[in-house]
């Protein structure tokens, strides 16, 4: 028997029989296995080898054209009680979901190999880490999970020591969009995904386990599983701080995680290090602080827009040992996407000759690469105890109203700020400009249970930890009357991070306002930044009339989640209104 864990052995045997798999292969995570799988994928046409001089050990995968993104409308939370899933999720009764999935999985691996992937989310020896096993019939999934998790013998050994693990069952099926479902059973710590080979639908360690299942598990066990980056900031005096930050999509999350500070900061000795760009698990430590790990071992990043100008650290990773999915290809076999440079690709993401019409790379095309390839990668990403979080930052894309940076008065106020963070739609997205869409803690598609209970869990940490991080909101996206961005963003966001860290260490004061603490202009480092002080004052101003309307909108939003919303959040709303 390949494992001493009887539950795991029985489950694999049962699935193999039900799916009628031709053979069963247990992944060990070795380099020899990695090379064997790459060659196998090249041989069957799943992978295409890219230019080995410019991109050694890099491969291109073109997916089915109907299978290129997460499918939120086909993603379900299957709790016994519908109310526990909450209005923030699609719900299906567990018995109905299992019957539907059992029918889809029956015989689906006939003629295929069933791969068993034991994996650990987080460092193998970390008490914050949790293990899982994904069963899949996709060797492409195996190779991505190899980069994204700690996969193989070490994870299996931990599972055998501890006993418990998250069960994830996946098959690409027929890749039929009408026979595609992703089911989560948080009360049983299990996942079933059928009919997709795409990242978030198929790499079950990622959003399915690390957020939807883990958020539920974290509530039961007293920790937090969040859609957050983690970055380290070391000042010229050698003092190290860590920030966890949550942003909805298209708000520069990966760019911030790998930020390169302005030249003056670099000369002065400031250093930025990257722990993670997407997911953060936090729990209270013995010292009363929140300690965090990045449960992932790799980056599954969006390629379009990644360039020397926007994120040089990300680009530098992608010249070796990388899997590219749905990008274009140049004449000499290099990967290409919109925003990379001014070359014209030879073929598009469908493998057809590129004729200049439409995007050459799919807008959601991806790269999968080990986190250790990042130039700003920190060895602390492997620290078993994690890193202590000094500040939690929430951000959205707001063209008006929301200041550049605001500090919460206390933890409960910070939870309100996170629960009601929002972005405004653009004309390109919906045809309507400025519609406010709220995305609590950037967890709208990823929270595995009722948002009201989730916010209550966040609030409970005021009793679980004695030195909670300070909480802030940021908004890099304010525009002037001409529609121009008022803040330069990118590396200059370091100036805001410096103020945030200074506040955490009580080195500067803040100006109290109705909506929270704001910086004094004199306390922001504006060296080498040619910005009119009037613009900065506008970025830090509080529009009282606009904020009255905002708080009315916030109140209505909270009410939409019913009687499970903690009353203290409504009290926080009233406090802001009174101060306004």
Active site residue ranges: 251
**DSSP assignment of 318-332, as one string?**
TTSSEEEES-EE-TT
Contacts of 559 (CB under 8 A, 6+ apart): 565
* CA-closest candidate to residue 85, choices 480, 416, 450: 450
- The torsion angles phi and psi of 206, rounded to 5 degrees, stand at -80, -110
* CA-closest candidate to residue 274, choices 296, 289, 306: 296
Please state, in angstroms and rounded to a whole number, the distance separating the CA atoms of residues 205 and 295: 9
* Residue 456, token pair as written in the block: 């209550």
Question: Would strands 181-185 and 190-194 be described as parallel, antiparallel, or unpaired?
Answer: antiparallel
* Residue 232, token pair as written in the block: 């380290």
- The torsion angles phi and psi of 388, rounded to 5 degrees, stand at -80, 130
C-beta of residue 190 within 8 angstroms of C-beta of residue 204: no
Q: How far is CA 17 from CA 10, 109, 167, in A?
A: 11, 10, 17
Contacts of 301 (CB under 8 A, 6+ apart): 254, 277, 314, 366, 367, 369
Please state, in angstroms and rounded to a whole number, the distance separating the CA atoms of residues 460 and 99: 37
Q: How far is CA 167 from CA 71, 163, 498, in A?
A: 20, 12, 42
3-state secondary structure of 452: helix
Contacts of 119 (CB under 8 A, 6+ apart): 131, 132, 133, 134, 145, 149, 150, 151, 152, 155, 205
């Amino acid at each position: 028997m390949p494992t001493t864990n009887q539950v795991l052995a029985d489950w694999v045997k049962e699935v193999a029989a039900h799916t009628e798999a031709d053979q069963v292969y247990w992944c060990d995570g070795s380099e020899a296995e990695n090379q064997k799988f790459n060659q196998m994928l090249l041989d069957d046409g799943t992978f295409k080898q890219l230019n080995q001089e410019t991109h050694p050990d890099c491969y291109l995968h073109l997916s089915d054209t109907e299978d290129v993104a997460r499918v939120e409308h086909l993603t379900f939370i299957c709790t016994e009680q519908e109310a526990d899933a909450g209005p923030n999720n699609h719900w299906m009764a567990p018995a109905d979901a299992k019957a539907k999935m059992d029918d889809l999985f029956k015989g689906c691996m006939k003629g295929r190999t069933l791969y068993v992937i034991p994996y650990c989310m987080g460092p193998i020896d970390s008490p914050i880490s949790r293990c899982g096993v994904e069963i899949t019939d996709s060797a492409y999934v195996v190779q991505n999970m190899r980069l994204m998790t700690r996969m193989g013998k070490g994870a299996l050994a931990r599972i055998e020591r501890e006993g418990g693990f998250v069960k994830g069952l996946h098959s690409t099926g027929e890749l039929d969009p009408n026979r595609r479902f992703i089911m989560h059973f948080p009360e049983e710590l299990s996942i079933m995904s059928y009919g997709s080979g795409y990242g978030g639908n198929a790499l079950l360690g990622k959003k399915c386990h690390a957020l939807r299942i883990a958020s539920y598990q974290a509530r039961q066990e007293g920790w937090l599983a969040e859609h957050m980056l983690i970055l380290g900031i070391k000042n010229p005096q050698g003092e190290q701080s860590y920030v966890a930050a949550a942003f909805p999509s298209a708000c520069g999350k990966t760019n911030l995680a790998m930020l390169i500070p302005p030249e003056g900061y670099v000369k002065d000795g400031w250093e930025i290090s990257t722990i993670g760009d997407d997911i953060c698990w936090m729990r209270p430590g013995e010292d009363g602080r929140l300690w965090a790990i990045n449960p992932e071992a790799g980056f599954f990043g969006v390629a379009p827009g990644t360039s020397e100008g926007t994120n040089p650290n990300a680009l530098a990773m992608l010249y070796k040992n990388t899997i590219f999915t749905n990008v274009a290809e140049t004449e000499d076999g290099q990967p290409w996407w919109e925003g990379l440079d001014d070359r014209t690709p030879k073929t598009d993401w469908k493998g057809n000759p590129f004729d200049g019409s439409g995007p050459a790379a799919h807008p959601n095309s991806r790269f999968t690469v080990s986190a250790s390839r990042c130039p700003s990668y920190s060895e602390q990403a492997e620290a078993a105890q994690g890193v202590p979080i000094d500040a939690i930052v929430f951000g959205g894309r707001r063209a008006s109203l929301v200041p550049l940076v605001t500090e919460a008065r206390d933890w409960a106020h910070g939870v309100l700020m996170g629960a009601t963070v929002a972005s405004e739609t653009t004309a390109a997205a919906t045809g309507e400009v400025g519609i406010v869409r709220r995305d609590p803690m950037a967890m709208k598609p990823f929270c595995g249970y009722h948002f009201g209970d989730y916010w209550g869990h966040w609030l409970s940490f005021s009793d679980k930890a004695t030195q909670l991080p300070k909480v802030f909101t940021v908004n890099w996206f304010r525009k002037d009357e001409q529609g121009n961005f008022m803040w330069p963003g990118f590396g200059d966001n370091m100036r805001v991070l410096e103020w945030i860290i200074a506040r955490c260490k009580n080195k500067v004061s803040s100006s109290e306002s109705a909506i929270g603490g704001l910086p004094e202009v004199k306390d922001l480092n504006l060296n080498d930044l040619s910005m009119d002080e009037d613009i900065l004052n506008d970025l830090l101003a509080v529009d009282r009339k606009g904020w009255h309307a905002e708080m009315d909108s916030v109140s209505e939003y909270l009410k939409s989640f019913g009687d499970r919303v903690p009353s203290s959040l409504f009290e926080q709303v009233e406090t802001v209104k009174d101060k306004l």
